[in-house]
Amino acid sequence: MSEKIDRRKQFTRMVLKEALMKLLKEKPISSVTVKELCEMANINRSTFYSHYIDAHDLLDKIGKELFDDMYATLNQYNYKKQDEVLQMSTKILEYVAERSEQCQILLSDNGDTSFKKRVIGIIQEFIMKKWMEEHQLGDDLSEYIPLLVVSGGVDTIESWLVNGKKESPQEMARLIHQFINFGLSGFRKK
């Protein structure tokens, strides 16, 4: 009996997540109502409220699940050297590409602003920390450089998603990696 309830709960949460993602393609989270979520998911309001407080709570849970999954995926790898940072960047972009629709919505203006901050934090932890250690940058700039690089990288990833992922995750990882290591001078014509 417990297994049936768990499956039912899983199904309800799945249809609510799908309904919210569809609605967020059209409008911001602030305009999404529980009533329209329930209508789209074909569930009643009391069922919705047995799982979530409101649409923001549902969005927050979607972002947290995606973030936790991304974190667990990246923790499977143990990159210690700077030259392996490109591989880690590629893994992040492959992960984002596999879940592009959700990531695009969560990073968009209609989505969850805290999700973008979490993504910036995870990239700082997994990539920039190693880069900063290897390049032994002084403390006076160490607070700003990761923020500048990672924020630009996340905006680049968001743009890549919006533009239909024309480049492969590997190509995007190389582009970002080249910029981090060589700045604009790394893009001069030869």
* Tens-place pLDDT, residues 92-141: 889 889 999 999 998 888 887 788 888 888 777 766 666 666 666 555 66
End-to-end CA distance of the chain: 68
pLDDT of residue 166: 95
| Mean pLDDT across 34-44 | 96
∠ CA(173), CA(178), CA(184), 5° rounding?
Answer: 130
Nearest Cα neighbor of 153 from 181, 190, 185 is 181
DSSP symbol at 112:
-
DSSP symbol at 143:
T
Q: Six-digit token pair at 134?
A: 């290897």
**pTM value?**
0.78
Does CATH place domain 1-52 in 1.10.10.60? yes
**Of 82 and 45, more confident:** 45
Nearest Cα neighbor of 29 from 66, 5, 57 is 57
Question: What is the rounded CA–CA span in Å between residue 29 and residue 130?
Answer: 36
Q: Six-digit token pair at 26?
A: 């059209």
- SS3 state at 77: coil
**Of 149 and 136, more confident:** 149
Residue 181 above 90 pLDDT? Answer: no
Annotated domain spans of the chain: 1-52, 60-187
Taking only the tens place, the pLDDT of each residue in 67-96 is: 888 888 777 766 665 556 777 788 888 988
pLDDT of residue 128: 66
Phi, psi of 85 (to 5 degrees): -65, -35
Distance of CA 134 to the CA centre of its chain: 26
| Mean pLDDT across 172-187 | 78
pLDDT of residue 81: 58
Residue 45 above 70 pLDDT? Answer: yes
